[in-house]
Amino acid sequence: MAQPTCWIVYNGNLPQKKFMDFAEWTARAAEKKGITPSIIKNNELLVSFTNGKSSISGRYENSSPDFVIFGDKDVFLAKQLEKLGIPVYNSADSIEICDNKSRMYQTLADHGIPFPKTIIAPKVFGDLHDYSHYPAIVKEIGFPMVIKEAFGSFGMQVHLAENEQRLLELMRTLKNTEYVFQEMVGSSYGRDVRINIVDGKAVACMLRRSESDFRANVSFGGKTEPYTPTEEQVQLAAACAEVTGTAFAGVDLLFGPDGSPLVCEINSNAHIRSIYECTGIDVALPMMDFILDDLKRRGSVHE
């Protein structure tokens, strides 16, 4: 039996090295597991429709791998690959749910999963003129308030409104950007827990703590340390992966006021270098094991 082949897709238009790093890291894990990887940019795979028929055109139009590891959020491309019968990890639907935080919170609420009190900002076209929802939001959530853009990572699109003036300023600036208003969990200020789930199991975990910011992200001064999660944290993180349909997930949990965990967010495209540097666990290896098993279950790869 020939070695299975995979494409590792990353975004060709993101300048940060960490995306390429994820692709190279995953490629090394694939090779260790006897898989032949090719690293490909999303803009080398064009989602095309001709005479009502879909295809992938461009450089790779005549080839197709046994599976794809999707290190990007180009969900139309992920969907198209699936439509062509290629298994994609994570699935296009799960990436779509996690990519948009409003969508993610709505999905968590469908399953009764606990997260901080949240209100989705009403849709705005162009500038914000009608502030009539503002008093109800202040009454419901209060200050300090977390404002989270629907699309964002590394804490960069997460803001803190300490008072009315800052909140109004943020609302004016964000105007038609999709975002949510969220209760600030003071008991978790500058602290969160990252649990990496693979196939429903917690495979690595770290505590992140920032001395200089309410955001515990490494990009905001978060220092990491290995952490043994409680059974409750593990169960909650696994439930998050299940309801979002993510085979692999980096789940961020906050410490609630009564000590019980609250979901902060679920990353379908979690970066795996910092958890490796903190814990010595290479999450990409169990990811590959899961994929190979899953392909066997699907009958795509034979022993």
Ligand X SMILES: Nc1ncnc2c1ncn2[C@@H]1O[C@H](COP(=O)(O)OP(=O)(O)O)[C@@H](O)[C@H]1O
Binding site for Mg ion (CB under 5 A): 252, 265
Looking at the Cβ atoms of 33 and 209, the one nearer to Mg ion is 209
Q: What is the token pair recorded at 12?
A: 């060709």
Pick the binder of ligand X from 25, 70, 214, 255 (CB under 6 A). 214
CB of 273 to ligand X, least distance (A): 15
Of 86, 95, 195, 254, which lies in the binding site for ligand X, with binding defined by CB under 6 A? 254
* Distance of closest approach, residue 220 Cβ to ligand X, in angstroms: 8
Nearer to ligand X, 136 or 156 (CB): 156
Joined tokens for residue 293:
């098993």
Least gap, CB of 56 to Mg ion (angstroms): 31
Determine the Cα–Cα distance for residues 249 and 200; give it in Å rounded to an integer.
Answer: 9
Binding residues for ligand X restricted to 175-194, rule: CB under 6 A:
182-185, 188, 192
Strand order in the sheet with 118-120: 118-120, 179-183, 145-149, 158-161
Residue 285 amino acid letter: L
Report what 224 binds from ligand X, Mg ion, none; CB cut-off 5-8 Å by kind. Answer: none
Q: Where are the beta strands (DSSP E) in the chain?
A: 5-10, 36-41, 46-50, 53-57, 67-70, 88-89, 118-120, 145-149, 158-161, 179-183, 191-198, 201-209, 223-226, 248-255, 261-267
Among 37, 65, 71, 155, binds ligand X (CB under 6 A): 155
- Phi and psi at residue 35, to the nearest 5°: -110, 145
Q: In 51-83, which positions are buried (b, 16+ CB within 10 angstroms) versus exposed (e)?
A: eeeeebeeeeeeeebbbbbbbbbbbebbbbbbe
CB 251 within 8 A of CB 262: no
215 makes contact with ligand X (CB under 6 A): yes
Bridge-based pairing state of the strands 5-10 and 67-70: parallel
| Residue nearer to ligand X on the CB measure, 215 or 291 | 215
Give yes or no for a contact between 83 and 49, defined as CB atoms under 8 angstroms apart. Answer: no
In angstroms, the CA 76 to CA 47 distance is: 7
SS3 of residue 146 by DSSP: strand
Minimum CB separation of residue 5 from ligand X in Å reads 32
Name which position in 6, 197, 253, 264 contacts ligand X (CB under 6 A).
264
Residue 213 beta carbon to Mg ion: minimum distance, rounded to whole angstroms: 13
81, interface contact from ligand X, Mg ion, none, CB < 5-8 Å by kind? none
Looking at the Cβ atoms of 58 and 144, the one nearer to ligand X is: 144
Q: Which of these ranges, 43-51, 77-85, 153-161, 197-205, lies near ligand X under the rule CB under 6 A?
A: 153-161
Please work out the total of residues on this chain that contact ligand X, with binding judged by CB under 6 A.
23
Q: Is residue 269 within the footprint of ligand X (CB under 6 A)? A: no
Phi, psi at 166, each rounded to 5°: -70, -35
160 close to 123: Cβ distance less than 8 angstroms: no
In the complex, minimum distance from the CB of residue 43 to ligand X, in angstroms, rounded to a whole number: 24
- 99 in contact with ligand X (CB under 6 A): no
Q: Which is nearer to ligand X, 37 or 155 (CB)?
A: 155
Binding site for ligand X (CB under 6 A): 116, 146, 148, 152-155, 157-158, 182-185, 188, 192, 214-217, 252, 254, 264-265
